[in-house]
């Protein structure tokens, strides 16, 4: 299980998201949708550990492996 608590991320004066709470349960499927620039990829990169959040926490088991295929620019 992955728990996201009060997560926040900004770039300069643009706030992508703040106050995000999410619990990702095992064996469940989730969809993350939104307009371009909403912060979907940034959120996933924070959960994977590639980026640091400005606030909040991501808790996950130490043995958990996350697969992530980055988008091409």
pLDDT in tens, 3-60: 999 999 999 999 999 999 999 998 899 999 999 988 999 999 999 999 999 999 999 9
| Comparison of pLDDT for 25 and 72, the residue scoring more | 25
Predicted local distance difference test score (pLDDT) of residue 51: 94
Q: Is the pLDDT of residue 73 over 70?
A: no
Secondary element (H or E) of residue 54: none
Q: How is domain 2-59 classified at the CATH fold level?
A: Rossmann fold (3.40.50)
Predicted local distance difference test score (pLDDT) of residue 69: 81
Opening angle at CA 59, ends 53 and 62, nearest 5: 120
Contact 35, 52 (CB under 8 A): no
């Amino acid at each position: 299980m992955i728990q996201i608590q009060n997560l926040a991320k900004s770039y300069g004066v643009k706030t992508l998201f703040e106050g995000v709470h999410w619990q990702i349960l095992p064996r469940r499927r989730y969809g993350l949708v939104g307009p371009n620039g909403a912060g979907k990829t940034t959120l996933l990169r924070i959960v994977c550990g590639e980026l640091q959040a400005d606030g909040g926490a991501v808790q996950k088991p130490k043995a958990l492996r996350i697969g992530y295929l980055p988008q091409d620019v």
